[in-house]
């Protein structure tokens, strides 16, 4: 079986899909149809688009964040498929994008590249617009998301997704009787057009940087194949 696949294995990228809670199952189904069997669903939360909605308690819908791995050639097929099946082209349905990796475990790469029999006939329309995007990732102490989003929005961000995490510092976790304690963190991910990235990151740093109580770390990753983001 493997011998069929003599060509060099295609480069694998991370495919990130952010959709409403419950729709993540559909994403994994589509991935499986495309023989992409490595996917993980994380629970996230949308960030509020307005303060009034937020205070009224109806501003932060729950999200499924699906991480999958896909070889670049199949990525071209799955993006339009996702967009079509999940109606990502309509505003507010969700977004999908991919990110490059700098390395991957050999077995996974081989497994992903191995089911290559999918006919790649037909010219696939190019999904991306001319805008380039970055994924701005901020890791802050728990409870500072609102401030962070306010700063980011003032610099032109439209929305973000919130993930919960625990910090793992270089020092060992504190012990208390039978349990070990670690600080709660929140990870806020914002997809931003390239030209706004720097301003957004600067605004986040000013508001929630390492020197503030939020102890925020901010970084950005390059993103390609974006679909579902209203051009703004």
Neighbouring residues of 144: CB distance < 8 A, sequence distance ≥ 6: 186, 208, 213, 214, 216
Could you tell me the smallest distance in angstroms from the CB atom of residue 180 to another protein? 5
Q: Which of 177, 136, 179, 180 is nearest to 158 (CA)?
A: 136
Q: Which stretch binds another protein (CB under 8 A): 78-86, 116-124, 163-171?
A: 163-171
Among 33, 58, 85, 90, binds another protein (CB under 8 A): 58
Report the distance separating Cα 52 and Cα 101, nearest Å.
39
Among 4, 121, 177, 231, binds another protein (CB under 8 A): 177
Could you tell me the smallest distance in angstroms from the CB atom of residue 85 to another protein? 19
Q: Which stretch binds another protein (CB under 8 A): 81-89, 116-124, 128-136?
A: 128-136
Report the distance separating Cα 48 and Cα 41, nearest Å.
22
Could you tell me the smallest distance in angstroms from the CB atom of residue 151 to another protein? 12
92: exposed, middle or buried (Cβ count in 10 Å: 0-12, 13-18, 19+): middle
Q: Does 6 bind another protein (CB under 8 A)?
A: no
Report the distance separating Cα 111 and Cα 118, nearest Å.
14
Q: Does 94 bind another protein (CB under 8 A)?
A: no
73: exposed, middle or buried (Cβ count in 10 Å: 0-12, 13-18, 19+): middle
Among 3, 103, 119, 121, binds another protein (CB under 8 A): 103
Among 124, 210, 230, 232, binds another protein (CB under 8 A): 210
Q: Does 140 bind another protein (CB under 8 A)?
A: no
Q: Does 10 bind another protein (CB under 8 A)?
A: yes
Could you tell me the smallest distance in angstroms from the CB atom of residue 76 to another protein? 8
- Subset of residues 15 to 54 that bind another protein, contact rule: CB under 8 A: 20, 24, 41-43, 51, 53-54
Neighbouring residues of 130: CB distance < 8 A, sequence distance ≥ 6: none
Q: Does 173 bind another protein (CB under 8 A)?
A: yes
Q: Does 219 bind another protein (CB under 8 A)?
A: yes
Would you call 32 helix, strand, or coil by DSSP? helix
Joined together, the tokens standing for residue 56 give 């009224």
Q: Does 206 bind another protein (CB under 8 A)?
A: yes
């Amino acid at each position: 079986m493997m011998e069929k696949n003599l060509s060099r294995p295609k480069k694998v990228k991370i495919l990130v899909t952010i959709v409403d809670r419950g729709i993540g199952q559909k994403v994994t189904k589509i991935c499986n149809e495309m023989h992409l069997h490595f996917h993980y669903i994380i629970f996230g939360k949308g960030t509020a688009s307005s303060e009034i909605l937020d205070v009224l308690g109806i501003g932060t819908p729950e999200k499924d964040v699906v991480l999958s791995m896909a070889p670049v050639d199949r990525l071209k097929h799955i993006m339009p498929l996702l967009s079509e099946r999940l109606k990502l082209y309509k505003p507010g349905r969700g977004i999908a994008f991919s990110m490059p990796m700098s390395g991957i475990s050999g077995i996974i790469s081989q497994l992903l590249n191995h089911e290559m029999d999918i006919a790649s006939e037909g010219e696939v329309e190019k999904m991306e617009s001319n805008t380039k995007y970055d994924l701005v990732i901020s890791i802050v102490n728990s409870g500072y998301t609102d401030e962070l989003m306010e700063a980011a929005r003032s610099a032109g961000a439209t929305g973000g997704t919130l993930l919960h995490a625990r910090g793992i510092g270089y020092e060992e976790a504190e012990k208390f009787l039978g349990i070990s304690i670690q600080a709660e963190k929140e990870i806020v991910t914002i997809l931003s057009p390239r030209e706004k990235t720097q301003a957004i990151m600067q605004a986040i740093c000013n508001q929630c940087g390492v020197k503030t109580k939020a102890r925020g770390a901010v970084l950005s990753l390059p993103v390609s194949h974006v679909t579902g983001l209203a051009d703004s």
